[in-house]
Structure 1
């Protein structure tokens, strides 16, 4: 709830900062300020605002800093979900975030001050820059593909299964799969891009198989690449059968 009004925000683990639609920001009477670039000049089409007394369920934030963007054209073009904005992963610092996909329930802890034990097998969360000049994004260990360990970005806005980047194709033994010419349009990634679709024998987490015979994706020409800093991106199609938990206090990740 912002400004006493309920709004709809997507959970975007692939982005650090919260984002708010300029239409909603103006309707709420929020004070907007320019975003200043490295050259000292305002960045076109980007503004920012600070919102006080934000409530997400029964969890309250004294303030959240939002990037304010006109989302209307992206929503109309279906390259962005029909929501009022997003909550990026920095929102959840020192908290446990759980996305219960089967029951469609979102839960968020109060800020943690002590460590908690991982209840099941856990991967280790790291913030690795997306490419040598990109922003830090959430990656985790623990996943495997065809039995081989991979480090992956976890991106709740990626409406796919598993994307493997070019620098990891050979080491994962996927040269043949990467030759696929079957194109699949992925709407909410990089403003809408084409990827090449193949099939993976097995995706695992820890010792368990979590997907078998699932779609496997490789980067098309317009997909942003992480310069070999990690192997791939796991998306919502892999996550949706599970309760997905991010412990941003102890930097652990697990699936139930």
Structure 2
């Protein structure tokens, strides 16, 4: 498990690209088409937790819970990543399937079930199509610092008008007729294979203006991932750094990180955006939709209070208080994960070659004890990630334990891209 975790740069990119429900063989009965409100409600609102730009909501399954699920426009069926729920909920699984996805590696095994009911707030669905992974390959809980049981996507978004107020950490959902006017700028989307796509204008690193088709994926923590252009790998800018970009359904994804001068979605312009360029064979070669150029993630989407209206093939964007925050890459070269037992422990899972952390002698599997003389347990995992993006040149003093020996390491953050 440690070996796998040390290879996952989860903070920069999370790609949950499953083969679509009908492609992995999940039968979708007519009765499982929609969430509906109970108690004669027409709308509801709940609070969510946001970690590394991801929306984490409480979901009840078969009347038990709540269980933390990532709300993710990038998945079709319900995905349960913790196979322990099979026994604890007494789930019936109809059969076993193979799922292929992005990244290096082979297909993975999963169970199929149509016997799961789910509740979000006062909304409920019965017999939601679900895939249950036989092994938790993502280790989401360790890299988000909170227990994660799976991902919820298409069936929730298709049922309601869904508004994600990132700045307030509130999720509002209603029947479309319950809302008279939607705030924000309307942008057309296309629903293809259970997922939303949008056309955006982009200025490339060599200052060419192009229009590209992107998956709108709020379950990916990065800003933008550029996969292919004209059936070839998307050109990587000359100023870029190699990076481990994350983990897909089939394993690790490597590539590069650079910057693009600007992108325009609707009438809104964002500038100096961090862009991920995954290796072609890891991602683009495995994506079935060939006119797709990449993936628009939550580091862009979270700068808006965004309303999804699948029924009208549209999203509405309204700038929020997070809009003007800079797009920053980790400046330490450290990836941290949480290991929970009787006590919580933070460990180093990855060190980027040539980074300040590597030059300071920090190593994979070092246990992190304090940051700038503050006990590490006084921070949430997301706060630690933000500390390592704080400011170019900021001094960091880390206390670590290696082989039962206490060490102090000092380095300065460096903006590498």
Same fold (TM over 0.5): yes
1:107 and 2:172 aligned:
yes
Match runs of 1:1-256 below 5 Å:
1-4=60-63, 5-20=65-80, 21-35=82-96, 45-51=109-115, 53-75=117-139, 82-110=147-175, 112=176, 119-128=183-192, 137-141=195-199, 143-146=200-203, 148-168=210-230, 175=235, 177-179=236-238, 182-190=241-249, 191-209=251-269, 211-225=270-284, 226=287, 228-256=290-318
| 3-state secondary structure, aligned to 2:185 | coil
State the alpha-carbon separation in 2 of the partners of residues 32 and 169 from structure 1: 39
Question: What's the CA shift for 1:26?
Answer: 1.6
Residues 89 and 53 (structure 1), Cα distance of their counterparts in 2 relative to 1, 3 Å cut? closer
State the alpha-carbon separation in 2 of the partners of residues 113 and 74 from structure 1: 38
Residues 177-218 of structure 1: CA deviation (Å, up to 9, x unaligned): 444551222224454312211111112222221x31121222
State the alpha-carbon separation in 2 of the partners of residues 56 and 77 from structure 1: 20
State the alpha-carbon separation in 2 of the partners of residues 179 and 196 from structure 1: 11
How many residue pairs were aligned? Answer: 238
State the alpha-carbon separation in 1 of the partners of residues 124 and 194 from structure 2: 25
Residues 74-128 of structure 1: CA deviation (Å, up to 9, x unaligned): 3179689951111121332242222222222223224x47997664332222133
| 3-state secondary structure, aligned to 1:238 | helix
Which has the higher relative contact order, 1 or 2, with Cα contacts under 8 A spaced 6 or more apart?
1
Residues 72 and 228 (structure 1), Cα distance of their counterparts in 2 relative to 1, 3 Å cut? closer
State the alpha-carbon separation in 2 of the partners of residues 44 and 238 from structure 1: 30
Question: What's the CA shift for 1:156?
Answer: 1.8
| 3-state secondary structure, aligned to 2:167 | coil
Question: What's the CA shift for 1:162?
Answer: 1.3
TM value normalised by structure 2: 0.50
Residues 222 and 157 (structure 1), Cα distance of their counterparts in 2 relative to 1, 3 Å cut? farther
Residues 22 and 237 (structure 1), Cα distance of their counterparts in 2 relative to 1, 3 Å cut? same
Question: What's the CA shift for 1:168?
Answer: 4.9
| 3-state secondary structure, aligned to 1:91 | helix
Assess if the C-alpha contact under 8 Å between 1:245 and 1:254 holds in 2: yes
| 3-state secondary structure, aligned to 1:187 | strand
| 3-state secondary structure, aligned to 2:229 | helix
Structure 2 partner of 1:40: none
Structure 2 partner of 1:132: none
TM value normalised by structure 1: 0.78
Q: CA RMSD in A?
A: 3.2
Structure 1 partner of 2:101: none
Residues 169 and 97 (structure 1), Cα distance of their counterparts in 2 relative to 1, 3 Å cut? same
Structure 1 partner of 2:331: none
Assess if the C-alpha contact under 8 Å between 1:169 and 1:178 holds in 2: no
Task: Give ranges in structure 1 of 5+ residues lacking alignment.
Answer: 38-42, 129-134
State the alpha-carbon separation in 1 of the partners of residues 83 and 113 from structure 2: 10
The structure with the largest alpha-carbon Rg is 2
Residues 251 and 71 (structure 1), Cα distance of their counterparts in 2 relative to 1, 3 Å cut? farther
Residues 136 and 56 (structure 1), Cα distance of their counterparts in 2 relative to 1, 3 Å cut? closer
